[in-house]
Amino acid sequence: MLRVVQWATGAVGRHAVRAVQAHPDLELVGAFVYSDAKAGRDVGEIAGLAPIGVTATNDPAEIVVLDADCVLYMAQGEMNPAGALDDICRLLAAGKNVISTAVTSLIYPASLDPAVAARLEEACAEGGTSFHATGIEPGWASEVLPLTMSALFERIDTLVVQELLDYSSYDSPGMMFDIMGFGRAPDAPVPLADPVLAGSVFRAPLLLVAEGLGATIDDFVYDRQVALADRAFDIKAGRVEAGTVSAQRFSATAVVGGRPALTVEHITRVGEGQAPDWPTGRGWKVTVEGSPSMVLEAKIAIHGEDENDQGCLGTAMHAVHAIAPVCAAAPGIRTFLDLPMIKGRHILSQR
């Protein structure tokens, strides 16, 4: 039985709490929360369960001293990546393996300043622990899917991974407005409009896939297009006024051998009818030109469920299912290239 701590109980973290609690090989032994309103409450109740006997705390020191094998770190780290790195390194050095969904670029730490990977490795060495970052996209669609498909190909000329989702039900004003720039003027100086900052999100999956395929990236090309609302309307995160961003299409492309070879593109809307000329869908699509040529589509919420909530569930489960292999791994940074295939044990319904 592996002892698990849940760090943060937002849209992804609540799903993780429920999954860990239901897993026969895992025991939830602690939970960290950010709000005073959640601190002191039973984390089962926070996650919509009956009480489970684990009280949430907003004191990181209490988590650090807990006897635990793994921490599921699910903070909104993109808003403070340096702070997330500090938290993660502290936990690793304290003897806890860490699986993070918080900072996309940590999926492949070599994509960042070498000092970041060095800090993580030092913390892992001090605590005898392993670090793994994951997600659903990036983290699964733009890494695991292409690498799994790659064994079928004689040659790949171009590979494009697209995420096509409607974020109108995603209840995170900070992420939606302050980071992504929805509901803002098209030239607002949000992080996603900055090619350096936005590019860093996609450099990680592109570099990871390139390493897995034995390729060397010459350069990166970034692009962002926006569409504007023709009327005001409300989404879960707040108000989108007329003339502000209601859809965006952003991508990063890795140039290999002088040609655009690997691309990750997100086509994201907040409501039906926005940017009607752009591709539509509910999920992820991998298009490969090569020998053979192939398109693989993964649709989510196929029965009309909330696609954002189901995406958050998928993100949580990818982390929960990684607990056992990460805890069994040798100390250090462990990416998808280092771990065995992450499988969903105990998920086949017995009904």
Encode pLDDT of 202-230 as tens digits: 999 999 999 999 999 999 999 999 999 99
pLDDT, position 188? 95
- In which residue ranges of the chain is CATH 3.40.50.720 found? 2-134+322-333
Task: List Cβ neighbours of 292 (8 Å cut-off, separation of 6 or more).
Answer: 152, 153, 154
Q: Output the CA torsion 267→268→273→277 (10° steps).
A: -20
CB 261 within 8 A of CB 288: no
Could you tell me the pLDDT band of residue 351, with boundaries at 50, 70 and 90?
A: low
Q: Give, in degrees to the nearest 5, the angle at Cα 224 between 223 and 226.
A: 155
| pLDDT tens digits along 48-102 | 999 999 999 999 999 999 999 999 999 999 889 999 999 999 999 999 999 999 9
Task: List Cβ neighbours of 245 (8 Å cut-off, separation of 6 or more).
Answer: 181, 182, 183, 184, 185, 186, 188, 226, 227, 228, 229
- Residue closest to 341 by CA, chosen among 145, 154, 109: 145
Q: Residue 22 pLDDT more than 60?
A: yes
Q: Is 96 helix (H, G, I), strand (E, B) or coil?
A: coil
pLDDT, position 78? 85
Dist CA 141 CA 208 (whole Å): 13
pLDDT, position 108? 97
Q: What is the average pLDDT across 7-11?
A: 96
pLDDT, position 67? 97
In CATH terms, 2-134+322-333 corresponds, of 3.40.50.720, 1.10.150.530, 3.40.50.150, 3.40.50.620, to 3.40.50.720
Q: What does residue 92 show for φ and ψ, rounded to 5 degrees? A: -60, -45
